[in-house]
Every structure is written in structure tokens, then in C-alpha cells.
């Protein structure tokens, strides 16, 4: 009998199982600074208290993606420590803004199980909710992950998951209390383009690229306290499909979103994650580029919202908007297909 925990394998999960995840985390301005150092993010709302205060907020909130990664990281030791890959996200809703000094906890519920035909793995679907120190839900999302079985011969029973909604409806989007874009400074934000300047179907090449270094992606993943072996254990990964460590998909999302500043500087505040897929692996030494497509627009009254598809590609320019082949398969250089809503000021 050992006191160390090997993590959950596929046969350890049960439908309706609820898991309260360990290690509450107080988010600080140091976390924000390190996130900027690792991603180069330049969105003004999360960079300057004065800018956020001019928008009616008490100070600069924590970037919702950082909140997502921290809450996600809490769930890893219990849900995906023995994962082969995280397959996708849906129904992500940012419910309450998080500010420096807030403490985050997370709880997950198992909402689906399906064994794979190989007998070696299965797909676990969970709904994870993050809470602050006042037990207010700050974030909720669904994800599905392929998890190894401990014993390939173990008998399991499938529990088909509830099909996630294809996207979060505009009426369900929540703006932070007090948010007022009347005092929004377009010059300080870095671009003149507002809600009215974007058209459904428009595509934007974000032009800039960023090479992901080995130490940087591991530091970022440690920042989120994500312990998945596929990102850290080079010895264990020598015998894996790729023979080396994978970059955590959240690092890909955050860098691609940082690159999207060039063209979407005013679509700062992420309100929801409609869906996301890591369609090809990313490794240290790869260079990321990104492009976006406007999928929909929603007038929220005091602000507009853009539904955006963010596509990240590796080792090639995003010019020409690489995405899928003629038969509908993702091109091999596409690594991320991410669908989200973001608030943006109106004229």
C-alpha cells in the first residue's frame, strides 16, 4: 500500500461522480506578470488598473483565460493525470470576474464515459466549475479527455454524455458588474476598430508569430499547477506515440489569443468558450501563427459581442487562412480550432 496517488484511470470513474479538487489557489499580480512574460499578451483591460477603472471596473481583472487554465489545472490530478490527450471543450461560461487576491477552487462532475474499441483507453466527459473564496461560481465548462485504463481487461459500462450545446447563446453572456465602455480609450487600447467595424464572415490574419520554447511551455504549465505527465516527463514520453513531451493545449490557446491582439485589440474580454479542439500536436521549437473569423455578432446593450473562431497553425504563415482540406479534414499544420465570445466596445 502506497501513500502516493497514481491518479485515476478510466475504470476508476463512474457516472455522476463528483470530485472536489485539491489545492486552492490565490491569484496574484505576480501570476499576471508571469503570464504576460510567457505569452506577450497586450490587452489593456488586464494590463492597467487605470484603464479598467475608466471602464467602470474596480481594477484590472484577471484575464479569463488565466482563470480557465488555473481551474483546469486543479482538475488534472484527478481527471487527466493519466490522459493520452485532452480532446475538446464546450459550454464554457465566465460567470463572475476574478481579481488579484481572489482564491480559486474547483469541482468536477463526471457526465459521460465511453470505452474505446482498443480496450486500452476510454473517453471521460466532465463538467468542471471554479469557485472563488465566497463560493461564487466564476467559471464552468465541459471537457472530454481520453484516459488510459489501468487494466485493459477491466470491464466497464458506457454512460453516454449529454451532448453539449453547440455554442453559448448571446442571451446567456454575462458582462462584469459595472462594466461601462463609455470611458474606453481606443488609442490606449491599441486599435480604432469597434463592434460596428467587424462583419460576419470576415477573416483576419494576425500576422505575428511566436516560437514556443521548451522551458517556457513547461513554466507556463507549472504556473497553472497542471501535472499531466505528457507535458513534463520526457523519460515516460520516449515510448509514447510522438516520443517527446506535448505542449499543453492551454499554452497554445493563450499564445494564439495573444497573437490575435493584432486585429482584435478591442475584443479583450472573453465571455464564453463555445468549443475548442486541439487537432494536431504542438512541440517545443514550433512557431505559432493565428487567424480569426467572425462567426456572429450580438448587441449586449452597453457593449457588443463577437463570436470568433481562433485558428492556430504551426511553422507556416496564417496568410491564406489554412484550415481544412477538401474532404473536410484539418490540415496537418493546424493545431487549434477555438470558438469563443468576446465583448467589444460600440461606437
Cβ atoms of residues 232 and 220 within 8 Å: no
Distance CA 40, CA 33 (A): 10
Return the bridge partners of 26, or none: 103
To 10 degrees, the CA torsion angle through 315, 318, 320, 326?
60
Over residues 278-286, the mean pLDDT reads 95
Over residues 216-234, the mean pLDDT reads 92
In the chain, the percentage of residues whose pLDDT exceeds 90 is 91
pLDDT at 46 over 90: yes
| pLDDT tens per residue, range 81-93 | 888 888 889 999 9
Over residues 302-308, the mean pLDDT reads 97
Cβ atoms of residues 40 and 210 within 8 Å: yes
Residue 11, all three cell numbers: 475504470
| pLDDT tens per residue, range 6-20 | 899 999 999 999 999
pTM to 2 decimals? 0.95
Task: Label the pairing between strands 203-205 and 121-131.
Answer: unpaired
Q: What is the pLDDT of residue 146?
A: 93
Q: What is the pLDDT of residue 83?
A: 86
Q: At what angle do helices 29-39 and 214-223 cross, to 10 degrees?
A: 150
Distance CA 330, CA 326 (A): 9
pLDDT class of 21 with cuts at 50, 70, 90: very high
pLDDT at 229 over 90: no
Distance CA 83, CA 9 (A): 8
Residue with cell string 449586449: 300
Phi-psi region at 153: left, alpha or beta (left = phi > 0; alpha = psi -120 to 50): alpha
| pLDDT tens per residue, range 114-151 | 999 999 999 999 999 999 999 999 999 999 999 999 99
Q: What is the 3-state secondary structure (H, E, C) of the chain?
A: CCCCCCCCCHHHCCCCCEEECCCCEECCHHHHHHHHHHHCCCCHHHCCHHHHHHCCCCCCCCCHHHHHHHHHHHHHHHHCCCEEEEEEEEEEEECCCCCCCCEEEEEEEEEEEEECCCCCEEEEEEEEEEECCCCCEEEEEEEEEEEECCCCCCCCCCECCCCCCCCCCHHHCCCCCCCCHHHCCHHHHCCCCCHHHCCCCCEEECCCCEECCHHHHHHHHHHCCCCCHHHHCHHHHCCCCCCCCCCCHHHHHHHHHHHCHHHHCCCCEEEEEEEEEECCCCCCCCEEEEEEEEEEEEECCCCEEEEEEEEEEECCCCCCCCCECCCCCECCCEEEEEEEEEEECCC
Cβ atoms of residues 81 and 131 within 8 Å: no
pLDDT at 1 over 80: no
Q: What is the pLDDT of residue 228?
A: 86
| pLDDT tens per residue, range 172-219 | 999 999 999 999 999 999 999 999 999 999 999 999 999 999 999 999
Query: How does the average pLDDT of the chain come out, rounded?
Result: 96
| 68 vs 2, residue with greater confidence | 68
pLDDT class of 2 with cuts at 50, 70, 90: confident
Distance CA 102, CA 248 (A): 25
Q: What is the pLDDT of residue 47?
A: 98
Amino acid at each position: 500500500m502506497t501513500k502516493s496517488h497514481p491518479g485515476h484511470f478510466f475504470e476508476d470513474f463512474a457516472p455522476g461522480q463528483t470530485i472536489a479538487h485539491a489545492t486552492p489557489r490565490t491569484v496574484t499580480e505576480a501570476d499576471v506578470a508571469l503570464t504576460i512574460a510567457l505569452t506577450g499578451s497586450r490587452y489593456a483591460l488586464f494590463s492597467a488598473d487605470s484603464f479598467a477603472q475608466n471602464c467602470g471596473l474596480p481594477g484590472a481583472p484577471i484575464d479569463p483565460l488565466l482563470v480557465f487554465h488555473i481551474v483546469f489545472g486543479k482538475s488534472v490530478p484527478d481527471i487527466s493525470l493519466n490522459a493520452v490527450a485532452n480532446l475538446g471543450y464546450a459550454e464554457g461560461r465566465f460567470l463572475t470576474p476574478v481579481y488579484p487576491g481572489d482564491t480559486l477552487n474547483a469541482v468536477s462532475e463526471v457526465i459521460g464515459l465511453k470505452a474505446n474499441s482498443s480496450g486500452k483507453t476510454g473517453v471521460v466527459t466532465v463538467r468542471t466549475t471554479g469557485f472563488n473564496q465566497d463560493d461564487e461560481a466564476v467559471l464552468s465548462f465541459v471537457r472530454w479527455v481520453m484516459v488510459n485504463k489501468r487494466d485493459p481487461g477491466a470491464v466497464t459500462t458506457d454512460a453516454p454524455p449529454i451532448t453539449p450545446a453547440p455554442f453559448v447563446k448571446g442571451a446567456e453572456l454575462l458582462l462584469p458588474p459595472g462594466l461601462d465602455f463609455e470611458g474606453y480609450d481606443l488609442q490606449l487600447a491599441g486599435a480604432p476598430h469597434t463592434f460596428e467595424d467587424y462583419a460576419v464572415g470576415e477573416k483576419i490574419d494576425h500576422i505575428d508569430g511566436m516560437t514556443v520554447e521548451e522551458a517556457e511551455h513547461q513554466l507556463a504549465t507549472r504556473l497553472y499547477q497542471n501535472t499531466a505527465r505528457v507535458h513534463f516527463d520526457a523519460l515516460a514520453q520516449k515510448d509514447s506515440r510522438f516520443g517527446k513531451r506535448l505542449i499543453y493545449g492551454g499554452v497554445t490557446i493563450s499564445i494564439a489569443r495573444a497573437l490575435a491582439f493584432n486585429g482584435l485589440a478591442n475584443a479583450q474580454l472573453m465571455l464564453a468558450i463555445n468549443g475548442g479542439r486541439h487537432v494536431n500536436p504542438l512541440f517545443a521549437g514550433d512557431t505559432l501563427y493565428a487567424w480569426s473569423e467572425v462567426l456572429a455578432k450580438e448587441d449586449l446593450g452597453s457593449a457588443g459581442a463577437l463570436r470568433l473562431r481562433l485558428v492556430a497553425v504551426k511553422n507556416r504563415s496564417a496568410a491564406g487562412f489554412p484550415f481544412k482540406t477538401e474532404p473536410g479534414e484539418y490540415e496537418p499544420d493546424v493545431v487549434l480550432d477555438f470558438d469563443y465570445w468576446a465583448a467589444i466596445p460600440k461606437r
